[in-house]
Amino acid sequence: MDFIHSFLNLILPPIAIISIIFFIPPFLFYKLFNYFFIKAFIPTQNLAGKVVLITGASSGIGENLAYEYARRGANLALAARRENRLKRVADEAIRLGSPDAIVIRADVKEVEDCKALVEETVNHFGQLDYLVNNAGVVQLSLFEDSTDQFSTTRSIMDINFWGSVYCTQFAIPHLRKSKGKIVVNSSSATWFSPPRMSIYNASKAAQLCFFETLKAEFGSDIGVTIVTPGLIESEMTGDQFWSKTRIKGVPVESAERCAKAIVESACRGDMYLTEPSWCRAGFWYKFFFPQLVQKCFHLALIHRPWTLNKRE
């Protein structure tokens, strides 16, 4: 057995490199052709009359997703903890073109809440076509500075990861029936891993791996679009965020622009979306120059004392 592993260690890396070099040109040509062909000749999915359930819909990306789906004629089920804000979002969504929008007060870290919000959506509309796992929370601090006996860090994992797992579990039977789709609002932090966001990064990485696994399990039965946004305008990136982090010069995309890109991507049936797309450069820097990226992070951010907890 040791001989087999030694042989594979010797022979497989060069074979992999050669095969990658061989397949990259035709693959890039296919991607380019497919992109322009879909853009030019294949219309995006008609959302009129579809039923879309959005978690974390009271502000930020979730709120603007509600407005974008409303403009396209979708029925909406809007879930979050802040019921008063949800009602305002629902009223605006109806004004923008949604035939019907219901409000469901729910905390996605609670299993029963996730079950209830899916059941209430299906009972009201009779179907479910889109599940948008958007609810999320961020904590910004050095891991070693945590003094809350892990209650906050557990909550981050419960909301960001388990909340999307719970909602998906209860939505699967209905999405299979409608040949529906799941949209997952993950984060570019899954592969860039900035400091002072250790538990957030881990929760989003777990979320991404979970839904990548579901892609293989679902096949063509249920579509899955995984979104990895960069810095997007929201409560989590408000004035307090900038004053605490002292980060300067990083462009922030509007939540409205991000939401429009997400809906269009999901309607095309994309597997992945990084928004804004220039953030993908960070992935390649991390892949090819991991030591350099880690050193830059340490020098630029690690010596700045701040702590921030914010939830949408």
Phi, psi of 80 (to 5 degrees): -175, 180
Chain CA centroid to CA 199, Å: 16
- Domain borders along the chain are 46-311
* Stretch 241-255: mean pLDDT: 64
Catalytic residue among 67, 130, 166, 200: 200
Distance CA(221)–CA(179), nearest Å, equals 6
98-103 — which CB contacts under 8 Å span 24+ positions? 98/66, 98/69, 98/70, 98/73, 98/74, 99/49, 99/73, 99/75, 100/75, 100/76, 100/125, 101/66, 101/70, 101/75, 101/76, 101/77, 102/76, 102/77, 102/78, 103/78
* Stretch 212-230: mean pLDDT: 95
* Stretch 174-196: mean pLDDT: 91
Note the pLDDT of residue 147: 67
* Stretch 159-166: mean pLDDT: 96
Note the pLDDT of residue 197: 83
CA 162 to each of CA 25, 114, 158, 235, 247: distance values in angstroms, whole numbers, following the listed order: 39, 10, 5, 22, 30
Mean pLDDT of the chain: 86
* % the chain with pLDDT above 70: 86
* Stretch 157-167: mean pLDDT: 96
From first CA to last CA, the distance across the chain in angstroms is 52
Do 207 and 229 form a contact (C-beta atoms < 8 A)? Answer: no
Task: Decide if pLDDT at 92 tops 60.
Answer: yes
- For residue 67, the SS3 value is helix
Task: Decide if pLDDT at 214 tops 80.
Answer: yes
Task: Decide if pLDDT at 310 tops 60.
Answer: no
200 is catalytic: yes
47-84: pLDDT as tens digits: 999 999 999 999 999 999 999 999 999 999 999 999 99
Note the pLDDT of residue 40: 57
118-127: pLDDT as tens digits: 999 999 999 9
pLDDT classification of 260: cutoffs 50, 70, 90: very high
Note the pLDDT of residue 235: 65
Tokens 């120059």 belong to 289
* Lookup: tokens for 170: 């209860």
Note the pLDDT of residue 249: 60
Residue type, 279: C
* Lookup: tokens for 129: 């076509």
Distance CA(203)–CA(211), nearest Å, equals 13
Kindly report the pTM of this predicted structure. Answer: 0.85
Note the pLDDT of residue 2: 77
23-41: pLDDT as tens digits: 888 877 777 777 676 665 6
Task: Decide if pLDDT at 306 tops 50.
Answer: no
Distance CA(203)–CA(197), nearest Å, equals 10
Residue type, 290: P
Architecture per CATH, 46-311: 3-Layer(aba) Sandwich (3.40)
Q: Which of 3-7, 184-188, 224-228 has the lowest mean pLDDT?
A: 3-7
Task: State the DSSP H helix or E strand holding residue 19, giving kind and residue range, or none if neither.
Answer: helix 2-41
